[in-house]
Structure 1
Amino acid sequence: MTYSSLYQDPKAQWAVYIGFFVIVLAVPLVVHDSFTINLLGTYGVFALLALSVSLAWGAGGILTLGQGVPFGLAAYCMAMTMQMQSQDPSNPMPPFMLNNSLTHLPLFWEPFKSTTAGILIALLFPTLVWMLFGGMMFAARVAGGFVAVMTLAMLSAINLLVLDIQPYTNGANGITPSNGLQLFGATIDPYGPGAYVIMAICLVILTAGSKLLLQSKFGLVTHAIRTDPERTRFLGYNVFLYQSVLFGVSGFIASVAGCLFVMLVQYVSPAQLDVSFSVSMVVWAGIGGRASLLWAMLGALLVNAGQTVVGDTLLNTWLLVLGLFFILVVRFLPAGLAGITAWLLALPGRKRQAHGQVSLASEGG
């Protein structure tokens, strides 16, 4: 099969993805500064969040402004697990609970005494919450801007809940585990190459899995649903099921990102459930190109790298610059930076078509 450009060629796409994976995995071999390694690991977490948004918004046409829900819930669960790892078994009460006059460890904290149970809860609980919430919306055939509003409302409600139950979550101060994550008898240094490698492996596996998913029959159906859900429904496909599963997969990726975030920064607070943070995820994907998994991730990397370089100089003005840039992209580059790449790769084909229309037509059969 011939394609209009390299951008559309699956083999060329996989070659680029493999190149990206090699670069991501090779970072610890080149970068040895512990602060830079940790910073790049955090960028990788943001890339995973952009990937989850691209999967829901770009592939499924589901604009979610509440992707911080699975991310934040998973981050809190992971922080609770790491907090319990650092507690003395004879005195399992975290200090902030004692400061809030609690006398017993809350029941819902008990499972986090087990590292295995804590990590499983951190991955599965937010995913199920997100999938069930999405299922209720899709069962009611909520679509378009209404999905964005409902996910935003869900995010705001959980943010307020975390703040209100301060004795159990430490409120606005958040949870700060004193030690790094302990796995298989070893403590993972968040500033060491080990933590980065764990993040990189998760990034590679989840990105490759998402790409394979979109190239399967499932991806073809979700593309049809994004284009015309009613016609897809009339063809006999269960639109509700496909949308719910895709929404759940995007939530799982965000949950993994939440776990990795706490492993790298050893901190979680309501800021991870803030509206502006979730909107930023959409901005990253939109600038990079929501219809491209890779470019959505590159958008997250470029924006956050830019914030690191000029954010301290511009301070709050950086948000205005980012907002203006996003508006310009949406207005003039609706496909994001990926659209520029697609246009450039299609130029040789256009030139050949202009100088040899007969031969091209015969090749197209």
Structure 2
Amino acid sequence: MPNNLYHDKRCQWLVYVVFFAAIAMIPVFIDDAFLLNQFALYGVFGLLAVSISLCWGAGGILNLGQGLMFGLSAYGMAMTMQMQSQDPVNSPIPPFMLNNGLDHLPWFWSLFASTGGGIFTALVVPTLFCLLFGGLMFQARVSGPFFAIISLAMLSAVGTLVLDVQPYTNGANGISPPMPLQVFGGTLDPYSSTMFWLVFILLAGLTVIGKLLTQSKFGHVVQALKNDPERVRFLGYNVALYETLIYTISGFIAAVAGCCFTLIVQYVSPAQFDVAFSITMVIWAGIGGRLSLLGSIIGALLIQGGQSYLGDSFLNSWMLILGLFFILVVRFLPSGLAGLLESGLGRLGSRPAPVEVEQDDAVMTTKSGS
């Protein structure tokens, strides 16, 4: 639709500016520490929604295992924070390891002994996993529901592994660092406005980068291969490479969300690898509009906000309500709430076709003779 404001890039960027400006005003009107902590957590969910939108919406890769990258980075950040509280001379080993019979620090835990190295490792490990796993899958032309099933199986396998190696991960009890992250000589209080601003900057920055990415030549190729990968392959593009890159970028954003999650909650457990949580991420994007980064964020905020305020009332029935809502959206709004907005703006921008009026021959003759 040529007159549809939804497709006007200037209007799109204006909406982005207004949306993030409204979020930036939250600390101005709210000074409650608990609410700021909750809003920062919603920002983490927004990051996950952006990662799903890039992978599924832009790239057409249905990833049901995004919780894998999220969980790995969350554990990496928790290990970094735990090592900050350990005395490298008198108490180099976390207490839960001693309780499980370990008498030395495992080699991979030493990677998190320094703050910078720990954060770097927490981000790099999930990203490298996406690069290697995605490269193998897409080179073998595994796509569609087959990739979704494999990603889900990989998530379940890693989650089970983390649960089983209790001496190294504390099993079902998870890791609960005794102190917030110490960085640049200060403490990053999870209930402070600083934590909110950190998540806000990451959410706004990565969303804008994702938007620019989808509007670039790379983004156009990725969207083209989503619709017809064989045609893109015949045009000389390496489809597997583009699929791997968009999958890896998506995984990196999920890893950033995982690090922020641990900073906010100060706890991580195998529940971060829960299959239901990864599927919920897909529901966020599906309801908000997987083709729109901003729509996916709004979907995450609406669903998680509804769960926070309505989940206690409906208890276990909340998941049934959410599932029913998702089915209705997929059936009647396949492009989500963003698609509904697109359709509405399209109707407003449409112009009625001109009506041809037949004129009397006598009138035409008179006009021609005048």
TM-score range, shorter chain: over 0.9
1:251-296 residue CA offsets vs partner (Å, 9 max, x unmatched): 0000000000000000000000010000000011100000101000
The 1-side partners of 2:23 and 2:97 are apart by 40
For structure 1, which runs of at least 5 residues remain unmatched after alignment?
359-365
The 1-side partners of 2:22 and 2:319 are apart by 29
Number of matched pairs: 355
The 2-side partners of 1:265 and 1:5 are apart by 42
1:89-123 residue CA offsets vs partner (Å, 9 max, x unmatched): 22111111111011011111001110000000111
The 1-side partners of 2:153 and 2:122 are apart by 22
Would you say the 8 A contact 1:83–1:94 is kept in 2?
yes
The 1-side partners of 2:2 and 2:30 are apart by 38
The 2-side partners of 1:349 and 1:212 are apart by 26
Would you say the 8 A contact 1:190–1:265 is kept in 2?
yes
Q: 2:106 matched to 1:103?
A: no
1:4-33 residue CA offsets vs partner (Å, 9 max, x unmatched): 311000110000011112122222112110
The 2-side partners of 1:255 and 1:16 are apart by 27
Q: 2:97 matched to 1:66?
A: no
The 2-side partners of 1:143 and 1:357 are apart by 49
The 2-side partners of 1:123 and 1:272 are apart by 16
The 2-side partners of 1:148 and 1:116 are apart by 34
The 2-side partners of 1:345 and 1:309 are apart by 31
Would you say the 8 A contact 2:131–2:245 is kept in 1?
yes
Residue 349 (structure 1) shift: 2.2
1:147-183 residue CA offsets vs partner (Å, 9 max, x unmatched): 1001001101100110111000000110000111111
For structure 2, which runs of at least 5 residues remain unmatched after alignment?
357-370
The 2-side partners of 1:197 and 1:61 are apart by 32
> Bigger shift: 136-145 or 82-91?
82-91
Structure-1 residue corresponding to 2:79: 80
The 1-side partners of 2:274 and 2:6 are apart by 36
Structure-1 residue corresponding to 2:39: 40
Matches within 5 A, 1:50-61: 50-61=49-60
Matches within 5 A, 1:195-274: 195-274=195-274
Matches within 5 A, 1:205-354: 205-350=205-350, 352=351, 354=352
Residue 357 (structure 1) shift: 7.6
Would you say the 8 A contact 1:25–1:201 is kept in 2?
no
The 1-side partners of 2:354 and 2:306 are apart by 43
The 1-side partners of 2:200 and 2:92 are apart by 33
The 1-side partners of 2:278 and 2:297 are apart by 15
1:58-77 residue CA offsets vs partner (Å, 9 max, x unmatched): 00000000000110000000
Q: 2:3 matched to 1:4?
A: yes
Would you say the 8 A contact 1:75–1:258 is kept in 2?
yes
1:305-350 residue CA offsets vs partner (Å, 9 max, x unmatched): 0011110010000000000000000111100111111011111222
Structure-1 residue corresponding to 2:155: 155
The 1-side partners of 2:17 and 2:132 are apart by 34
Change (3 A) 1:357 1:170: farther
Structure-2 residue corresponding to 1:18: 17
Would you say the 8 A contact 2:5–2:349 is kept in 1?
no
Would you say the 8 A contact 1:138–1:243 is kept in 2?
yes
TM-score, normalisation: structure 1 = 0.96
Q: 2:173 matched to 1:173?
A: yes
Structure-1 residue corresponding to 2:367: none
The 2-side partners of 1:118 and 1:25 are apart by 29
Pair member with larger Rg: 2
Would you say the 8 A contact 2:78–2:267 is kept in 1?
yes
The 1-side partners of 2:137 and 2:264 are apart by 34
The 2-side partners of 1:300 and 1:222 are apart by 24
Would you say the 8 A contact 1:3–1:9 is kept in 2?
no
The 2-side partners of 1:315 and 1:88 are apart by 43
Instruction: State the percentage of identical aligned residues.
Output: 59
Would you say the 8 A contact 1:59–1:222 is kept in 2?
yes
The 1-side partners of 2:349 and 2:321 are apart by 36
The 2-side partners of 1:59 and 1:33 are apart by 37
The 1-side partners of 2:219 and 2:116 are apart by 32
The 2-side partners of 1:160 and 1:323 are apart by 25
The 1-side partners of 2:137 and 2:355 are apart by 49
Q: Which stretches of structure 1, 4 residues or longer, exceed 6 Å deviation after superposition?
A: none
What SS class does the counterpart of residue 25 from structure 2 fall into? Answer: helix
RMSD over aligned Cα atoms: 1.1
